[in-house]
Structure 1
Amino acid sequence: MNPHQAPHQALGEAELKEMTRVKTENRSILEWPQEAARLPGRDEPSFGHAGGNLCLDFHGDPKRARLVVFSDGNHHMALEECVSRFLDANPEAQDVFYATTPPAPLLAALEKGVLHVGNLSISASPHIFIGPGEVLDRLVVRKLMESHLAFAESRGNVLLVRKGNPKGIGGIADFMRDGITIAISNPESETASFRVYADTLVALAEEAGLDSEALKTRLSTGGEENRVVFSAAIHHREVPELLASGIADVAMVYYHLALRFTRIFPDVFDFVPLGGTREEPKPGPAHRITRYHIGLIGDGGDWGRGFAGFMTGDEAQGIYRSHGLRSPV
């Protein structure tokens, strides 16, 4: 194994094929939209083949960019709009290369100076790192970052289902029903989001007087009937694919992710609120909330400090609210 290879997959190849098998002639079920914050007016070629050659969570030109951002991925839709607005106001930055994967491969890339994406190797050193506070704390301990600041947080979790809710899923009790297959983050490669979802589900089961221990076991092992499927590397892409393909029936996801999926795939997905309404979620104490922090790597280069200031300012905060997140409370 290449010593610079960032770890992506926690499961064996045969297991991954079995879990994520989609018979669509090497095409993704979902036609994901372009998500790249680019300066207008450039006529440049692009290449992509859904399912076989697709890098959805690496954005921009790492050579041309004068600002590089490594970020956890589940708020990528808000980050994309913020990067675009920042570039509009600062065209001298030329481009922003930003990655929106789980933190683990980005931490490894920061340490090794390279990240391998399939057969492509990307050598890019970040000026900004975005992620949960405990992740950035590790960068402070390693003296790669002086400090960090919370700039946004999630608004709880909901149940993502296929359009029309064919299995009639209405709440946590349906996770215990026979014949219901659950999709969830991989507990090894996406530990942070798995803990958010699993802890929330178990707490909601306890509140409802259900067998929370049985649910905990099922989420961790798949249960005797193997009715849980795990994402392999990036749940904010793979979990909706698992539902769209019919491999899974329901998934707990962040409210802002469900909002994104139903906006870009309105004929494919719907979601069930777990407190409050679709327009105004009111997560109770059982919901684990995620805070997103931002900090400079080193001195942040020419553009890092300005971008961090933009992300904590009113314009970026409004963008994050429009995508179903909120300012830290």
Structure 2
Amino acid sequence: MLTWPDEGIFSQGTLETWSQPESNLVLDFHGDPLNADLVVFSDGNHHMALEPSLQAFKELHPQVGEIFYATTPPGPILNLLQNGRLRIGNFILSVAPHVFLSPPHVLDKLVSQGHMADHRPFVRNRGSVLLVGKGNPKKILGAGDLAREDVRLFLSNPVTETVSYRGYVDTLKALGTRAGSDMAFLETRVSTAKIYFGQSVHHREAPESVVSGIVDAAMVYYHLALRYMRIFPEDFDLIPLGGTVNVPDPEPGNVVGFTHAGLIGDGGPWGRRCLDFLFSSPVADIYAQHGLDAMFSA
């Protein structure tokens, strides 16, 4: 089991940590929701860049106090916003966001429901890659190799993570077919001998599935694979689907995804300043360091 590094913007010294990894470890809710002056809800795949960005905002504005942010797939945080409560096991979380980051079609829903006035393009990813175990034991070279009988693939859940699932499958079909492989195995939406679907949070489940040996490869965004290789260097390698490990250049058919950002309501006392900071050169630099590209002119 992977030991994930701490993530969060904590301002009150050393905090006691209590968890039981198999049942009571919550990784994608960060900080103190009760005392937060700024609450940010975000799609989870770029959590590694959002954390230092919010930390930089807090250093610029120390008077902001506590920052609480969530980095789940869109579904749970949409439910939390719309219903005001989210059940996590036997724990109930009730907190309202000031800033919301997500794919544009998700934020379009929030605009239509009156939660948000508008949203702006924030960042785009650099396509997808294949995450494999260190040394690439199955010698997987590209999407076409996934059709081999001896290779099992991880994909995000087609029901709970529809954006990543659709992008991953469309990419694999395009690239695998071009390589001359039969990609019909991708038509299923239930786990089989060829495909293992995650349950709800693929940016945590994908590397766990590879390192545990459940699968031989996982389809993930480039910036996710880059993150895993940096924090777990002895466990993972990535197979580019266009370009190289250090300079990705998604080949035609490798779907590129987008994240937009906007305020919920008036953004409260800190939301507007936080949103403006996210659209700044320092944040663009942070995201670039983590394998994502800003979509704005800072």
Counterpart for residue 302 of structure 1: 269
> In 1, Cα distance between the equivalents of 2:65 and 2:17?
18
Q: CA deviation at 1:179?
A: 1.8
Equivalent position of 2:119 in the other structure? 148
- Tell me, yes or no, if the aligned pair for 2:241 and 2:254 is still in contact at 8 Å: no
Q: Distance in 1 between matches of 2:24 and 2:126?
A: 33
Instruction: Please list the CA deviations of residues 56-105 of structure 1 after superposition, one character each: whole Å capped at 9, or x if unmatched.
Output: 00001001110111110000000011111111111111111111001011
Taking the aligned partners of 2:122 and 2:252, their CA distance within structure 1 comes to 21
Q: Which residue of 1 aligns with 2:149?
A: 178
Give me the whole-angstrom Cα distance separating, in 2, the residues matched to 1:216 and 1:228.
Answer: 8
Structure 2 match to 1:113: 84
- Say yes or no: does 1:216 pair with 2:183: no
Tell me what 1:281 maps to.
Answer: 248
Q: Which residue of 1 aligns with 2:284?
A: 317
TM superposition outliers: structure 1 runs of 4+ over 6 Å? none
In structure 1, the partner of 2:54 is 83
Check whether the contact 1:31–1:50 (CA below 8 A) recurs between aligned residues: no
Q: Which residue of 2 aligns with 1:22?
A: none
* CA contact 1:183–1:248 (8 Å) conserved in 2: yes
What is the alpha-carbon distance in structure 2 between the residues aligned to residue 275 and residue 289 of structure 1?
A: 12
Give 3-state SS (helix, strand or coil) of 2:259's partner: strand
- The separation in 2 between residues aligned to 1:35 and 1:194, in whole angstroms, is 25
Structure 1 residue runs of 5 or longer lacking an equivalent are: 1-28
**Counterpart residue number, 1:3:** none
The normalised TM-score by structure 1 is: 0.87
Partner of 1:234: 201
2-structure distance, mates of 1:88, 1:51: 34
> Is the 2:133–2:236 Cα contact (8 Å) retained in structure 1?
yes
Give the match for residue 30 of structure 1: 2
Cα offset, 1:49, TM superposition: 2.2
> Which whole-Å CA distance do the structure 2 matches of 1:211 and 1:268 have between them?
29
- Tell me by how many angstroms 1:43 deviates: 2.7
Instruction: Say if 1:202 and 1:215, in contact at 8 Å, map to a contact too.
Output: no
Shift of residue 301, structure 1, vs aligned partner = 0.2
The CA deviation string for residues 14-41 of structure 1, in whole angstroms up to 9 with x for no partner, is xxxxxxxxxxxxxxx10111011223x6
Q: 5 Å matches for 1:31-110?
A: 31-39=3-11, 42-110=13-81
Give the counterpart of 1:262 among 204, 215, 229.
229
Instruction: In structure 1, give the amino acid aligned to 2:145.
Output: D
Match of 2:163 among 192, 195, 215: 192
Distance 1:173 1:290 in 2: 22
Percent same amino acid among aligned pairs?
48
Contact 2:190 2:197 in 1 (8 A): no
Amino acid in structure 2 at the alignment position of 1:110 = L
In 2, Cα distance between equivalents of 1:187 and 1:266: 29
Deviation readout 1:215-263 (Å, 9 max, x if unpaired): 4325x3445xx22111111000011101110011001110000000000
**2:144–2:180 contact (8 Å) kept in structure 1:** no
- Within 2, Cα distance between the matches of 1:249 and 1:268? 12
The question of whether the paired residues in 2 share the 8 Å contact of 1:67 and 1:127 is answered with yes
- CA separation in 2, counterparts of 1:113 and 1:222? 33
Alpha-carbon distance in 2 for matches of 1:44, 1:239: 29
For residues 285 and 313 of structure 1, the distance between their equivalents in structure 2, rounded to whole angstroms, comes to 30
Q: Unmatched 5+ residue regions in structure 2?
A: none
Superposition TM-score, scaled by structure 2 size: 0.96
Distance 1:221 1:299 in 2: 42
3-state SS of 2:220 partner: strand
